[in-house]
């Protein structure tokens, strides 16, 4: 269980297989986000159709609603949401800091107010692990503190706390069928990141997460941070870049040795009526699509692209029909899953180096184009 | 094309087959409503899963948005929404009277304002048929005027206008691959209804619709009206009771010789978080379902019931996840389609009479239970 085998490499990029109790993950892998035990608007059948292999769910949200003990009593997260394949939960740390209006951090943990009803709650490393054990995902995260990347002094404090919390998380974990990943923090400071990478790499965990990126730093800072961190991590453990990202972030992350990604971008774009397409991100409210009989992406194999025209999708959007969000989510998620699968194949067949610039050109434009 | 064969009868109830260019309809049949070229929140795959055979779409809505000429240019309604099986459009008459804030009726037609942007439009029988020919459904409706059932004088005027408009609709229709149904009106007055039934029955149409019911009259008035109308209609044409209805309305309608039904109730209940179940309509927000590991209906074969617990569906509702509406719509539609299929089988195998009271007892309770 939790074996990680690397089948092919090109420089720092790797193509591997990570074994979990609910199946093997071919890495690199992009995980759709199912915050509240559902990838918004999609059924598990839709997720299978887009070849999703790993689904993330959020500890903070499920703890508050419906409650991790309820999920446990319903047979755990896989059973509850009927997702039979691998799952990952985060530690709740990031949400406590980003969603709760008031929070008090001390060395033992964090006291915060629910964003739903204002009630007071407390997370500690032990509590986060207990919740994640109740939820039962295959991959779980150590409790961590994400700092403002531009505040060096705070980044050190948060990093040191994250390290102590990683040790406590590891000690608290008892389920053998869950892989606990420690989380590298340290803002965008190369020394802190190096220190954190060494500390987390030394822990006895089957994988390592890189947190605190895609939180306001520049693209250059993200790349520089990965350039510091991944060379310091053991080769034989998968690396998970939390909450990242755009298509170009995935390409750049894989090139720098990252194996696992998750991001709400594809489903969020769907809610904003945008679609990934070969010509860039499409604003599907645009009148130019009113009579466009093409699929969103002629090269895409998803249900939406196999079935519907741009004209129909635009009609659904203009008529405020919820099916629009479903169809766009299917396509946008498939687009990133397909991109990552394509990159994996290229690592395996030795064409990664010759294709990486093409992907960046094709997808990089998306990062700067207005939605 | 448009042959109607009756395979079995029990008193006035009939089990038949109606042939359309997009396939055969086993009658009695319940049609999900896809107002804006989509059955709300469902994909065509979901509709196939619930064994939907006929889907209704609304002429008024599609004329306004995206426009019937656009739908025509996109290959027609079947192609546009990717529904390969039979479709039906109404005439727009009912929506003009119920949705438009201001309207002016004259003998030639109706001038009305769009409920979307207040723009002025005019429907005549010829215009309604032209729109429906652009949309391209298998079954289309004559333009009609639906009256307040409690206003006898107006019911006569509206009925007479409906008759003249039915003749004009018939004359305007040119597509041989569409079956035009005339519509019986006359409020709840038995004499008017008899007069209207005779008039509409005498027209050369492959089927007959019964309009102006489920618009505020009592259940008894609905049944009495059907008791007047259906005996006056030719046996060899399918009868379509427009916009009806609740499960008990379907049972009562079939017993009185109705073959086709449509209603928004199943999808509307889904939006209101209610589910059809053997014990009655369930309010799925009820805390009693928080840890209920049963499906919505243990006897149901739909995707929702095959896959998810009541606890999960309640969680989705409480977390305001849109998937809840999708799962409830699938189940509620399947419940009525399954009920009608069960009744059809009973007509065929001779058990209708012995089972009808049981259905009414089981489902009739739903009609009076608060949602």
DSSP for B215-261, please give it.
SS--HHHHHHHHHHHGGGS-TTS-EEETT---HHHHHHHHHTT--EE
What are the backbone dihedrals phi and psi of residue B353, each rounded to the nearest 5 degrees, phi first? -60, -40
* Subunit contact A40:B318, Cβ cutoff 8 A: no
- Residue A148, pLDDT > 90, answer no
Q: Which of B68, B189, B249, B262 is catalytic?
A: B262
Query: pLDDT higher for A65 or B94?
Result: A65
A303 touches chain B (CB under 8 A): yes
The pLDDT score that the predictor gives to residue B366 is 45
Contact B181, B140 (CB under 8 A): yes
Q: What is the distance, to the nearest Å, from the Cα of residue A97 to the centroid of all Cα atoms in its chain?
A: 17
The pLDDT score that the predictor gives to residue B368 is 36
Contact B219, B226 (CB under 8 A): no
Confidence of residue A369 (pLDDT cuts 50, 70, 90): very low
ipTM score here?
0.96
A247: which 2 tokens? 């298509």
Of chain A, the percentage scoring pLDDT greater than 90 comes to 91
* Subunit contact B82:A312, Cβ cutoff 8 A: yes
B154 touches chain A (CB under 8 A): no
Helices (H), chain A: 44-49, 59-64, 68-73, 77-81, 93-98, 125-135, 152-172, 190-201, 219-229, 247-255, 265-271, 303-307, 310-318, 323-349, 352-368
pTM: 0.96
The angle subtended at Cα A204 by Cα A203 and Cα A207, nearest 5°, is 90
B37: which 2 tokens? 């070229």
| DSSP output for A236-265 | TS-EEETT---HHHHHHHHHTT--EEE-SH
Q: Which of A49, A68, A90, A249 is catalytic?
A: A90
Top residue of A322, A325, A328, A329 to mutate, by most chain B CBs within 10 Å, is A322
B229: which 2 tokens? 């109308």
The pLDDT score that the predictor gives to residue B365 is 55
- Residue A208, pLDDT > 80, answer yes
Number of CB atoms found within 10 A of residue A292's CB = 18
Mention every residue, 6+ apart, whose C-beta is less than 8 A from residue A329.
Answer: A39, A40, A41, A42, A46, A266, A267, A270
The pLDDT score that the predictor gives to residue A221 is 95
In this complex, the residue of B42, B66, B291 whose CB is nearest that of residue A290 is B66
Q: State mean pLDDT over A226-236.
A: 98
* Subunit contact B65:A318, Cβ cutoff 8 A: yes
Q: Catalytic residue at A262? A: yes
Q: Measured in Å, how far apart are chain B's first and last C-alpha atoms?
A: 42
- Give CA–CA dist B221/B214, Å, rounded: 10
Confidence of residue A365 (pLDDT cuts 50, 70, 90): low
Q: What pairing do the DSSP bridges indicate for beta strands A87-89 and A29-31?
A: unpaired
B234: which 2 tokens? 């030719």
SS3 assignment, position A16 = strand
Q: pLDDT digit of tens for each residue in chain B (371 aa)?
A: 899 999 999 999 999 999 999 999 999 999 999 999 999 999 999 999 999 999 999 999 999 999 999 999 999 999 999 999 999 999 999 999 888 778 899 999 999 999 999 999 999 999 999 999 999 999 999 999 988 888 999 999 999 999 999 999 999 999 999 999 999 999 999 999 999 999 999 999 999 999 999 998 999 999 999 999 999 999 999 999 999 999 999 999 999 999 999 999 999 999 999 999 998 999 999 999 999 999 999 999 999 999 999 999 999 999 999 999 999 999 999 999 999 999 999 999 999 999 999 999 988 754 433 32
Q: Catalytic residue at A90? A: yes
Q: How far is A342 from chain B (nearest CA, A)?
A: 28
**Chain B partners of A38 at a C-beta cutoff of 8 Å?**
316, 319, 321, 323
How many CB pairs below 8 Å do chains A and B form together? 108
Rg (CA), chain A: 20
Taking all residues of chain A, what is their mean pLDDT, rounded to a whole number? 95
Beta bridge partners of A239: A208
Domains by residue range for chain B, with CATH:
29-262 (3.20.20.105), 269-368 (no CATH)
């Amino acid at each position: 269980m939790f074996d990680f085998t690397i089948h092919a490499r090109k420089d720092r990029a790797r193509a591997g297989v990570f074994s979990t109790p609910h199946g093997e993950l071919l890495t690199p892998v992009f995980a759709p986000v199912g915050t509240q035990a559902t990838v918004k608007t999609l059924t598990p059948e839709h997720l299978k159709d887009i070849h999703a292999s790993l689904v993330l769910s959020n500890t903070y949200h499920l703890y508050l609603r419906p409650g991790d003990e309820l999920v446990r009593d319903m047979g755990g997260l896989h059973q509850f949401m009927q997702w039979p394949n691998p799952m990952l939960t985060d530690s709740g740390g990031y949400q406590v800091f980003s969603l709760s209006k008031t929070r008090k951090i001390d060395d033992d943990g964090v006291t915060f107010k629910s964003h739903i009803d204002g009630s007071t709650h407390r997370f500690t490393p032990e509590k986060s692990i207990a919740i994640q054990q109740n939820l039962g995902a295959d991959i779980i995260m150590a409790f961590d503190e994400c700092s403002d990347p531009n505040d060096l002094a705070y980044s050190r404090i948060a990093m040191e706390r994250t390290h102590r919390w990683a040790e406590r998380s590891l000690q608290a974990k008892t389920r053998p069928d869950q892989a606990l990943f420690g989380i590298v923090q340290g803002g965008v400071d190369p020394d802190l990141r190096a220190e954190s990478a060494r500390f987390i790499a030394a822990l006895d965990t089957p994988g390592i997460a890189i947190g605190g990126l895609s939180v306001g730093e520049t693209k250059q800072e993200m790349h520089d941070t990965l350039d510091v961190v991944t060379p310091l991590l053991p080769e034989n453990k998968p690396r998970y870049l939390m909450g990242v990202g755009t298509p170009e972030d995935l390409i750049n992350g894989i090139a720098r040795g990252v194996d696992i990604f998750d991001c709400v971008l594809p489903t969020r774009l769907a809610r904003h009526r945008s679609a990934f397409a070969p010509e860039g991100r499409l604003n599907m409210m645009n009148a130019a699509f009113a009579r466009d009989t093409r699929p969103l992406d002629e090269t895409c194999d998803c249900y939406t692209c196999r079935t519907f025209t741009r004209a129909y999708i635009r009609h659904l959007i203009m008529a405020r029909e919820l099916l629009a969000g479903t169809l766009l989510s299917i396509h946008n998620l498939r687009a990133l899953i397909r991109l990552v699968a394509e990159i994996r194949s290229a690592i395996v067949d030795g064409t990664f180096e010759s294709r990486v610039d093409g992907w960046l050109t094709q997808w990089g434009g998306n990062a700067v184009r207005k939605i």
